[in-house]
Amino acid sequence: MPKLPGVSYRDALRVLQKCGWHIAREGKHTIMAKGTEAIPIPRHNPIHSITMGQIAKAAGLTPEQFRELL
């Protein structure tokens, strides 16, 4: 069983915004930025669990922290 569930695109954006990330630009992917770092978020519903785990890791969140913020 994956550590993170597949979540919707909007839920992923909401969690990252709670952590201080903001939307830099939108297209086929939404680019979230914080300082000089950037994370691409695919605009899929749902975002696959493996991809969501990689996004959480890039944002500096553990799977448990990400689940709490959902």
Does 13 reside within a domain? Answer: yes
Task: Provide the CATH number for the domain around residue 57.
Answer: 3.30.920.30
Residue 1's pLDDT band, with cuts at 50, 70 and 90, is very low
Does 60 reside within a domain? Answer: yes
Q: Which two tokens stand for residue 62?
A: 């553990």
Question: Phi then psi for 69, rounded to 5 degrees?
Answer: -80, -15
Per-residue confidence (pLDDT) for residue 2, from 0 to 100: 54
Helix (H) or strand (E) holding 57: helix 49-58
Place of tokens 């500096």: 60
Does 1 reside within a domain? Answer: no
Per-residue confidence (pLDDT) for residue 42, from 0 to 100: 92
Whether pLDDT at 49 is above 60? yes
Q: How far apart are CA 29 and CA 67, in angstroms?
A: 22
Tally of CB atoms within 10 A around 41 = 21
pTM, two decimal places: 0.83
